[in-house]
Homo-oligomer: A and B are copies of this chain.
Amino acid sequence: MPTITEERIRVRYGETDQMGHAYYANYFYWFEQARGAWCRERGFSYRELEELGFFLPVVEAHAEYKGEVHYDDWIVVRVWVSEMRRASMRFDYEVVNESTGKTTTTGHTWHVLMGTSRRAVTMPPEIRDMISRDPADHQTKP
């Protein structure tokens, strides 16, 4: 069972549009912010991954909008890894609007691991280990 990370985000005024709720592209910023939190809960930051010479660019992005979120709403973005392959991985997302308790959006992103050559590379064991870690693990290790 994949472990889930939750990231709370407050909707900015600049993220709304004239329809009065958050513009659809902003969810992909929020997904990214949740991925960052997911990494940190496993004891590393995506920034460190890049400093090691690896990148995880998005190769597929998908969102389904079932409800709205408004300015100043707190949302919770739930994120987990739903699939791991040799050189790629998939994150799934659920956005819950705290003011209603409803899941307003679901989505996923696919990422390919790239080295400094900007070519897909098989995940080295140490990267796979970082990514497969349980949130609790990195805290209990000495």
Using Cβ atoms and an 8 Å threshold, which residues of chain B touch A47?
70-72
Task: State whether A18 touches B57 (Cβ < 8 A).
Answer: no
Cβ-neighbour of A28 out of B28, B58, B59 (below 8 A) = B28
Copy total for this chain: 4
Q: Do the beta carbons of B19 and A28 come within 8 Å of each other? A: no
Q: List B contacts of A70 (CB < 8 A).
A: 18, 47
Contacts of A1 in B (CB 8 A): none
A24/B65 contact (C-beta < 8 A), A18-B13, A29-B14 known: no
A64 interfacial contact with B, CB 8 Å: yes
Query: Main secondary structure on chain A at its contact with chain B?
Result: mixed
- A12-42 to B contact mask, C-beta < 8 Å, 1/0: 1110111111011110110011001000000
Contact of A14 among B17, B46, B72 (CB under 8 A): B17
Chain A contributes a number of interface residues (CB within 8 A of B) equal to: 37
Is the CB–CB distance between A12 and B32 below 8 Å? Answer: yes
Q: Which residues of chain B come closer than 8 Å to A26, judged between CB atoms?
A: 25
B25 & A14 in contact (Cβ 8 Å cutoff)? yes
Closest 4 pairs between A and B when the two form their complex, measured CB to CB: A25-B28, A16-B18, A24-B58, A47-B72
